[in-house]
Amino acid sequence: MRVTRGIRAAIALAAIFLWDLVVASLGVARIVLSPRVRTAPAIILVPTVLERPWAVALFAYFMSLTPGSTCLHVSDDRRSLYVHVLDTADTGTTIARFKNVYERWIGELER
């Protein structure tokens, strides 16, 4: 049963990442190609409930691999990640999206 849940989580994580990669790439391309587009870059603190070092690292990697965001630092206790985002209107929504899109499925792999 555990293997099945892990496989399901890995497939979901890969599919979600590929979709996010396409959508984020188009968003970054729009910003780069439209000089009048205003952006709201920010450095945000993303708390995490992930416990294993590999899970926190995977969370940071997925955020960094998505165009328009990069993980700058992981706190010493591995409970917070500092992430630079190219454009965010609402940091709370951005944090919730990262947690719902990536942390949720990585948490399934961690169990």
Domain residue extents for the chain: 2-110
Beta strand extents in 48-106 (DSSP E only): 69-74, 80-85
Give the pTM. 0.86
Q: First-to-last CA distance in the chain? A: 12
Sign for the CA dihedral angle at 107, 64, 25, 21 comes to negative
Q: With 90 as the cut, is the pLDDT of residue 76 above it?
A: yes
Q: With 80 as the cut, is the pLDDT of residue 1 above it?
A: no
Q: Give the model's pLDDT for residue 54.
A: 95
In this structure, what are the phi and psi dihedrals at residue 86, rounded to the nearest 5 degrees?
Answer: -70, -35
Considering the chain, what percentage of its residues have pLDDT values greater than 70? 97
Q: Give the model's pLDDT for residue 2.
A: 60
Structure tokens at 44: 């945000």
Please count the CA atoms within 13 angstroms of the CA of 82 that sit on its side-chain side. 7
